[in-house]
Amino acid sequence: MASITSSKEMTYVQLGNSGLKVSRLILGLGSYGNTSWEKWVIGEEEGIKHIKAAYDAGIQTFDTSNVYSNGDSERILGKAIKQHNLPRDEIVVMTKLWGVVMREPGILAPGPEADAAGYVNQYGLSRKHIFESIKHSLERLQLDYVDVFQCHRFDYNTPIAETMQALHDVVKAGYARYIGMSSCHAYQFHAMQNYAINNNLTPFISMQSQYNLIYREEEREMMPTLKMFGVGMIPWSPLSQGMLSRPYSETSLRADTSVLLSKKDIVAPIIGVTTLERLKDTIGAINVTLTDEEIKHLEEPYVTQSIHGYE
C-alpha cells in the first residue's frame, strides 16, 4: 500500500516531561473492532489497512482500550503489528483499563448490574483488576509490554493508594513502560499524581481529556494542572465525534485539527477515522498553519457549558 503522505512531514514530540516520543498525531483505535459492538465500527481487515496506512504516513503511536469492541480493537492492533512487522522499538502502544470487557457484544457499565451479570472484580482500578487487565491486554496485543498503560476513568470505590501502588508495580514488573490517566476531574488527577510523587511511585506522564472547538472546559483547571506537573495532554475527540466535520469538508477537518496542533499545552490529538480518505485528510492537518486571527475566528463562538465526558 502506498504511503498517504511522506513520513518526513510527521513530527515527533516528547510526551510531557518523559523521554518518550510520540507522533504529533496519535491514531485512536476505537473505530476498529467488532461491527456488532457499535454501528460505526469497522472490521479487522479495514482496521489493519488503516493502521498500516497511518504508520506509512509517520504515525507511530496507537491508542486503544480493553473495552473497545470488548478486546477486539487490541487484537486488531496486535495482528497489524505482526502482519506488517511494525518495529516494536519504534512504535508506541497505549491501552486503557477501567470498564467491563464483556464476553459477548455489548456495553455494560461498572457497578451492581455488572456484578449481577457475572463481572465481579472485572472493572475499576483495584489491584486485582489492574493486574488481570494488563495480563489480558498483552495477550490480545501479542506483546510483552505496552508503552503507556492508562486508567480510562477515575474509580470512586478503590483507594487512590491501592491504584497507584498497583500501577507502579505493573511498571516495575515490566508490563508497561509508563502510565497515564484519562477523563477525570482535575482534583482527582491532582490527588493521584501527588500520591505517586510523595510516595516515590511511578507518576502519570499523560492525560487524555475531551477537548475540541466546541468543548474547551479543560482549559479552566485540567490544563493548568497538567502544566504544573509536566504531564502531556493528548486530547480525544478532537472533532467532537465528527460533529465538527459535518457536512464533510477536507478544509474544515484540517483547520479544526490544526487548531489543536497550535496549542502549546497539547502534545498530540488522538484522531479517529473510519475511511482511508479521512485518515489522509486528517493527517494533512500537519501541514496547515493557521494565523492567530484564524484561530481567534474559530474559537470565538465558544459558549461555556457544563463539564461532561467523565462518565
Q: Looking at the annotation, which residues are catalytic?
A: 68
- How would you classify the pairing of strands 21-23 and 12-14? antiparallel
Q: How far apart are CA 78 and CA 11, in angstroms?
A: 24
Which residue's C-alpha cell is 456488532? 36
- The CA-CA-CA angle for residues 285, 181, 169, to 5°, reads 130
What does the alpha-carbon distance between residue 239 and residue 250 come to, in Å, rounded to a whole number?
12
Q: How far apart are CA 311 and CA 306, in angstroms?
A: 13
Question: In angstroms, rounded to a whole number, what is the distance separating the alpha carbons of residues 251 and 290?
Answer: 12
Nearest to 187 by CA among 65, 267, 307: 307
Cβ within 8 Å of residue 121, ≥6 positions away: 128, 129, 132
Rg of the chain in Å (alpha carbons)? 18
Residue labelled with grid coordinates 475499576: 124
Task: State the burial class of residue 295 (Cβ atoms within 10 Å of its Cβ: 0-12, 13-18, 19+).
Answer: middle
The span from the CA of 151 to the CA of 282, in Å, is 27
φ, ψ dihedrals at 34, nearest 5°: -100, 120
